[in-house]
Chain A
């Protein structure tokens, strides 16, 4: 399949079951590089489950996930992060006891080269690496207008700031594919607009993204490609305008 070869991400006949519940049924799709894709569908359609399958948190009962043509079968989630998958969560996941900068630096975990013993002994390599990471971390925070908050405990942040921090952590390691689970969920209209602009910037820099989102206006206005899930099945996929006009999609989702 020529299409598969040029695709960043491929899912082949993916099936995921939780006991008797079929969360994903025979999902096959291609995600080309450089696109901002949206993954939409009603509550419980299997959107989060699909992201979890892609990044290795759930192991599908059947089917395979390929990143840049390489099968991820049996590759544990933490190694997929090294291969270039990063994500955010539907409910923001930050380490409560740590400050903003340290939370961000978790996103650079896979970039470290100095081993545990170097860090234990506070070797010059360890200090150099930490200094470089902190600088890079502060730069990233500045990109997302969080730099003045770097030393704050994350408990003090607003939802908007938490979402920003989670996003900056996810892009810190320069992933090949960014998985976003409802990045605009719970935000105000103005914040949604700002988030859309940030994501547009990222896309402009060549970042490939799959975004789960309920806000159809956002999806139609900004994304390049739309995947529609319904009861664990891939109902339709295509450019936003086509999807908007698809009668099946309208009856299943938009028409609700």
Chain B
């Protein structure tokens, strides 16, 4: 059947965005010699990693979490503390931090996912605030509000992965791999099940989809991606403070997701880049950024609820058709 062939055909079209992004990422360190800009590029990749998880959670399950920065921070602090205070090798510390975050997310998932709408937002926000308070108060471990210093760098076979250029490659390599895995998933059976979730429970459940398990898995996966970004962040900057993981960072992550379009994997990368580059263009004072993020979030939700990127794409298509 011809339709059958078309349905599975053109794998190169799928690979194209990866090829473009990989090439761009490979060339960037040669084009961008300013280390500040290069580290900004790494930061974009890290945020995009966390946004990817959040994007799945909000886009598929319709669960808006304003506590994602807490998982980001949990990864960072757990890995930081294990290396600084307990002398664990970095690789092992990251593995332990991810396991810990996964377990915490698993415990939190069931009660959290019972909530919906505002209640879920408030609960996750509360979670983030508790996390920040613990980071500030538990001084002996976390270094309190002045932060945790002396986190060791990452290295592999004698290569320092925390140098600006290598870290940039590491982050974007990890991000591309994660995007690839996620898009594999979304195109197949579990992905179709995930995409049916926000329809309400009646339909997926009647189709044999264990909705609760799927939602828990999404929640844990989103937490793990945020924590992975956090681990990498900690061993790159080699210093972390509670301020980097507070609720404003969560707000920023949600805004990035909304800008890119819910459930749109590439959109999340765009959203992360857009929001992190914005202050550079605007030369904005850091203090007004939360305000700006809130404003952007509001504007996006009001005028293009499907995301800024899809809206721009639509506009471009209309203009193109108008000319053609």
Contact = CB atoms under 8 A, between A and B. Distances in A.
Interface residues of B, number: 31
Interface string A144-158: 000110110000000
A55 B201 CA distance: 13
B196 interface: yes
Contacts of A142: 1
B162 to A, nearest CB: 28
B243 interface: no
Contact of B185 (A93, A102, A112, A120): A120
Classify chain A: how many residues form its interface, as a range: 35 or more
A95 B206 CA distance: 13
Nearest to B208: A81
A125 to B, nearest CB: 11
A121 interface: yes
A57 B206 contact: yes
A106 B6 contact: no
A86 B205 CA distance: 11
B192 A98 contact: yes
Contact of B8 (A78, A93, A105, A131): A131
B184 A107 contact: no
B190 A119 contact: yes
A122 B182 CA distance: 10
Interface string A81-107: 110001101000101011001100111
A138 B1 contact: yes
A180 B282 CA distance: 58
A121 B181 contact: yes
Contacts, number: 107
B188 A134 contact: no
A215 to B, nearest CB: 24
B304 to A, nearest CB: 16
A39 B115 CA distance: 36
A179 B6 CA distance: 33
Nearest to A115: B190
A78 B211 CA distance: 8
Given A121-B184, A138-B3, A106 B205 contact: no
A126 B8 CA distance: 13
Contacts of B193: 106, 109
Contacts of A129: 189
A77 B192 contact: no
A151 B189 contact: no
Given A78-B210, A81-B208, A138-B1, A116 B190 contact: yes
A105 to B, nearest CB: 6
B158 interface: no
A119 B185 contact: yes
Closest 5 CB pairs of A and B: A81-B208, A110-B208, A119-B188, A112-B189, A77-B205
Interface of B: 1, 3-4, 6-8, 181, 184-185, 187-193, 195-196, 199, 202-211, 217, 263
B3 A98 contact: no
25 contacts: A55-B206, A56-B205, A76-B205, A77-B206, A78-B209, A87-B206, A95-B199, A95-B203, A101-B7, A106-B193, A106-B207, A108-B189, A109-B192, A109-B193, A109-B207, A119-B185, A119-B188, A119-B191, A130-B8, A134-B4, A134-B7, A138-B1, A138-B7, A150-B7, A151-B6
Nearest to B210: A78
A114 B206 contact: no
A142 B3 CA distance: 11
Contacts of A116: 185, 190, 217
A82 B184 CA distance: 25
A130 B190 CA distance: 11
A133 interface: yes
A226 to B, nearest CB: 24
Contacts of A193: none
A135 interface: yes
B321 to A, nearest CB: 18
Given A106-B192, A126-B188, A78 B208 contact: yes
Contacts of B207: 78, 81, 106-107, 109-110, 169
A173 B207 CA distance: 9
Given A109-B208, A147-B1, A95 B196 contact: yes
Contact of B209 (A86, A87, A109, A126): A109
Given A78-B210, A78-B211, A89-B202, A135 B191 contact: no
